[in-house]
Amino acid sequence: MGAEREGGARRRPLRAVAYAAWGTVLLAGCASMPDNGDLRNVESTQRQDAEVRVFAMPPREDAPPAEIVQGFLEALTSDDPTYATARQYLTGAASQQWDPEQSTTVLANGPDIQTGRSTGREDAGDYAVTLTGSKVARVDREQSYTPLDGHYGQAVHLTRDKKTEQWRIDAPPQGVVMGQSDFQRNYMSVDKYYFASNTRTTAGTPATAVADPVFVRRRVDAMTRTVSSVIAGPTAWLRPVVRSSFPSGARLRRGTAALSPDDQNRLTVPLNDKGSRVGHARCSEMAAQLLFTLQNLTPTVDTVTLQGADGRTLCTLGEDQARTVAARGSEKRPEYLYFLDDKRRLVRMAGGSTGTSAEPVPGALGEGVQKLSSAAVSWDERTAAGIGFDQRSLFVGSLVSGGPLGDPVLQSQGKTEKERLTSPSWDARGDLWVADRDPARPRLLVLEQGAGRPLEVRVPGLDGRIDAVRVAADGVRIALVVVHGDGKSSLLVGRIERDESGDGGDGDGGDGDRPMVSVLELRPAAPELEDVTAMSWAGDSRLVVAGQEQGGVQTMRYVQVDGSTPEGPTPAALTGVQSIAASEDDRMPLVAYSSADGIVRLPAGAQWQKVLKEGAAPVYPG
């Protein structure tokens, strides 16, 4: 357990007590501090069973400064809910000021203790060391994860208490700091759910649910903390494009004990007075937010009951009812998988099919009137968009027999194919997105309902040229592959904001009476890859990406929108990947185009299977 290694210092690990569901167990291997001798390096803790809670030991009598620092770092990685043991390593004043909830800094190999940089002597009652390491990420007060890199350096100062003669830390590091493996053992990612606020809705249709990933401590009452986090509201990055149905000031009722479902998989959530002042429709939305979130956390909850401050039931919502309140992209099962055949026509096969035969789609795009290089199908599977074979022109056509193709709705002036249009992507509103890679005028464009003049999208802070575009099913997040000046490409996720006040103009010098659309606060989603070749959304907050790791290894993996790596298996290796199709419904197989094997698919628990050697550009709706 604990701090994974220290520079210039050696130690034994601290003792821990583990409380399991069936009793109390003493873990002898995690324990005692040495009475004498040098400190030694210790590898990071092996993963503990999910039912086991690990607690560090308090400071030893007359422990020297280096041991106090080591013990404090150990205590930060324990399952102590309030960090009470860690506070025993601090002076009284430092304990009052130290805020462990402020942030968690994740380092690659844990903090090294550089004792050679002390600013005082032990015999003078004043001592300081420096914690160093390589930054990986930071989890802020909202529990939001942000990838980091670069050097970490933090001074830690100790003083000797004049009365007790014991060393204690009077200037601790900000928040919590730990190594990556300890972070993975202690924390878990959970998708909170809110509702899209910038998508078109009609009366009687469900709201669009949007996932907001956060990290909670795995064995420190994760359910109660997750519920509290949902009620508190979305993270700052997502907040401008979503809404919560919980009223301002809503909280769990004071004195609420740890939440847990009953023997019928029902979770009762008691709210304070401000959270109780809602009508039935709004209460149902609140319950849907919690139910979607908790089912992401554990399969043992299928019904949520919200209880008012006076103990009365406000509403009860089960799984079937939740689907009428809000829709998640991960629950929409696509009817077909689409791709291009050897004649460069748009063809389709039944979603989840195990066969290898496909049929042309109804309409002009399936008749071969125009050869295509890529295509996209709307979420309702009634309309398709295709990029011409030379990647210069964008066509839109209905998926009905006899439907005409018409003239291109957009054309690029790029001189080469790689300097023209990217593959298109449909959002949940029915708008069509595409990037023009023309070096003379690189642009991200959106065509409202797939027609009319293209609207140029503002992307402030964009460093490079957009090479691929995919909009999430929720319509408020967009994934972009961006090629930078050094020729390397990265995967970025941005937030889609729409200003309906009429200041947007259009991509062709219009009169400015159209909505302004922006993609804001781009952030890396695959920081460990230095060159991204293909990507697709693969869940409410997950993408699948193919690319090259730092050092030159080709790989395919799942990533979270916040840049973290989700738990679970990665896709089997595949060479020559040029495009990927994944449904946000994880029951559908992953499909890819490989230059070596053509169209291939990866059913759950199986190996890659060939579908069509002469096919290309597979896509699910979106």
Residues 478, 470 contacting (CB under 8 angstroms): yes
Is there a contact between 428 and 199 (Cβ–Cβ < 8 Å)? yes
d(CA 328, CA 309): 30
Which residues are within 8 A (CB) of 205 and not within 5 positions of it... i.e. 6 or more apart?
A: none
pLDDT in the model for residue 604 = 81
pLDDT surpasses 90 at 156: yes
Q: Beta strands of 271-419 (E only): which ranges?
A: 303-307, 313-318, 326-327, 336-340, 346-350, 359-360, 372-377, 383-388, 393-398, 410-411
pLDDT for res 24: 35
**pLDDT of amino acid 619:** 97
DSSP 171-189: EPPSSEEEEHHHHHHHEEE
Phi, psi torsion values for 420, nearest 5 degrees: -115, -140
Tell me which DSSP letter residue 390 carries: T
d(CA 337, CA 38): 63
Instruction: List the structure tokens of 523.
Output: 């952030």
pLDDT at 354: 83
**b/e per residue 412-436 (b: at least 16 CB within 10 A):** bebeeeebbbbbbbbbbbbbbbbbb
Q: 147 CB contacts (<8 Å, ≥6 apart)?
A: 136, 137, 523, 524, 527, 562, 563, 564
In angstroms, the Cα distances linking 618 to 335, 353, 493, 536, 599 are: 14, 14, 22, 11, 7
Residue 564's pLDDT is 97
Cα-trace Rg, the chain: 27
Tokens representing residue 50 in the block: 């999910």
The full length of the chain comes to 622
pLDDT surpassing 90 at residue 390: yes
State the DSSP code for 65.
H
| Distance of alpha carbon 586 from alpha carbon 620, whole angstroms | 12
194 with 211: CB under 8 angstroms? no
Per residue in 94-125, pLDDT (tens digit) is 999 999 999 999 999 999 998 754 455 556 67
Q: Which amino acid is present at 289?
A: Q
pLDDT in tens, 446-471: 999 999 999 999 999 999 999 999 99
Q: pLDDT at position 20, please?
A: 38
Is residue 168 within 8 Å of residue 90, measured between CB atoms? yes
Work out the mean pLDDT of the chain and round it to a whole number.
88
Under 8 Å between Cβ of 593 and 373: no
Among residues 227, 265, 263, 232, the alpha carbon closest in space to that of 246 is found at 232
Beta strands in 15-82 (DSSP E): 16-20, 23-27, 54-55
Domains of the chain, by residue range, sit at 16-187, 197-327, 330-619
Confidence band of 270 (pLDDT split at 50, 70, 90): very high
Query: 413 is written with which tokens?
Result: 């002036």
Global pTM value? 0.88
- Domain 330-619 grouped into CATH 2.120.10.30: yes
Q: What is the pLDDT of residue 43?
A: 37
- 1 has pLDDT over 70: no
Which residues are registered as beta bridge partners of 385? 376, 396
Report residue 403's pLDDT band, with 50, 70 and 90 as the boundaries.
confident
At residue 321, φ and ψ (nearest 5 deg) are -65, -35
506: confidence class by pLDDT, cuts 50, 70, 90: low
23-37, 299-313, 487-501: which has the minimum mean pLDDT? 23-37
Tell me the pLDDT tens digit for each residue of 588-597: 999 999 988 9
What is the share, in percent, of the chain residues with pLDDT greater than 70?
Answer: 87
pLDDT tens track for 342-354: 999 999 999 878 8
Least confident of 6-10, 49-53, 86-90, 98-102: 6-10
Residue 490 has pLDDT above 80, yes or no: yes
Residue 284 has pLDDT above 90, yes or no: yes
Confidence at residue 48, expressed as pLDDT on a 0 to 100 scale: 39
Residue 9 has pLDDT above 60, yes or no: no
Q: How far is CA 173 from the centre of its chain?
A: 27
**Strands 303-307 vs 266-270: parallel, antiparallel or unpaired:** parallel
pLDDT tens sequence across 344-387: 999 999 987 888 889 999 999 999 889 999 999 999 999 999 99
pLDDT band at 201 (very low <50, low <70, confident <90, very high): low
For the cut 60, the answer to whether the pLDDT of residue 17 exceeds it is no
> How would residue 554 be classed by pLDDT, with cut points 50, 70 and 90?
confident
Average pLDDT over residues 479-507: 86
